Amino acid sequence: MIDLGRFNVLGVNISAVDYDAAVEKIIHAAKHRVPFGVSALAVHGVMTGVMDSSHRHRLNHLELVVPDGQPVRWALNLLYKTGLTDRVYGPTLMLKTCETAAREGLGLFLFGGDQVLVSDLQRELTKKYPELKISGALPSQFRTLSQVERDRLIDTIRFSGASIILVGLGCPRQEVWAYEFKDALRMPVLAVGAAFRFHAGHLDQAPGAMQQYGLEWLYRLTKEPFRLWKRYLFLNPYYVFLLVLQWTRLKRFDPNSTVPPTEEILYG
């Protein structure tokens, strides 16, 4: 089990952990009913924090941010000699959490996507883990919520009997959601993004070799070019450029240089 603490990558605090440590932290928080925001960040997720100080504040106030992308793991190894041999891939972390939750008798709540997606995801997860208890599932309404709707959603999740909630709203909405809702829910909130579509069978994952060499972005670009081309063709080179500046100490990135959000953004 590896848990080396949190390290500053371009001003975003990333936890140098492996799967075992991440799952242990999640299950511990679930059993003790404490707020615990979790995100798995690849390059795009890190860059959303780099370019927005309010969002960087949100990310740095989540309890666990793991290196989802190989380039983020490489950054930890380059800057801090962490020696991590594997990333903590969000879709895999989701499955390992489901497996342990099933064994421990902890209920899950699924939130995000449309009704077809959450229904298919629920079916596939219970097929894979027959003992898994899914306490509830709700699709996104694809809009911001009123305060009354927010309170109703919190009550629905809390009274469902769930101990962990998985949120698939896409980056950065799901990280905003985790930040805004975790304290009221008092349970682990895992922002898992495309994992919903992967595990529901709606979207293919990149081949293992492409994942290993940090080329998952290229595979996804071929699948969704019109949605993702700006994200990858601009942000990836910019990430590398900034990382070189941090590595050579030509630029300092302060994780405490953030601006707290002035208002809640209640995605639902």
Question: Domain coordinates of the chain in residue numbers?
Answer: 3-200
pLDDT in the model for residue 126: 95
Confidence of residue 180 (pLDDT cuts 50, 70, 90): very high
Q: Which of 118, 100, 137, 105 is nearest to 199 (CA)?
A: 118
Question: How many angstroms separate the most distant Cα atoms in the chain?
Answer: 53
Report how far residue 18's alpha carbon sits from residue 219's, in angstroms, rounded to the nearest whole number. 24
Sign, CA torsion 41/45/51/52? negative
Q: Is residue 43 pLDDT above 90, yes or no?
A: yes
Report how far residue 241's alpha carbon sits from residue 258's, in angstroms, rounded to the nearest whole number. 21
Report how far residue 170's alpha carbon sits from residue 203's, in angstroms, rounded to the nearest whole number. 14
Residue-wise pLDDT tens digits, 196-230: 998 988 877 767 766 676 677 666 767 667 676 66
Across the range 177-185, mean pLDDT stands at 95
Contact yes or no for 189/179 (Cβ under 8 A): no
Percent of the chain at pLDDT exceeding 90: 75
Q: Is the pTM higher than 0.85?
A: yes
Tokens linked to 115: 């009704």
Tokens linked to 154: 């919190």
Residue-wise pLDDT tens digits, 107-164: 999 999 899 999 999 999 999 999 999 999 999 887 888 888 898 999 999 999 999 9
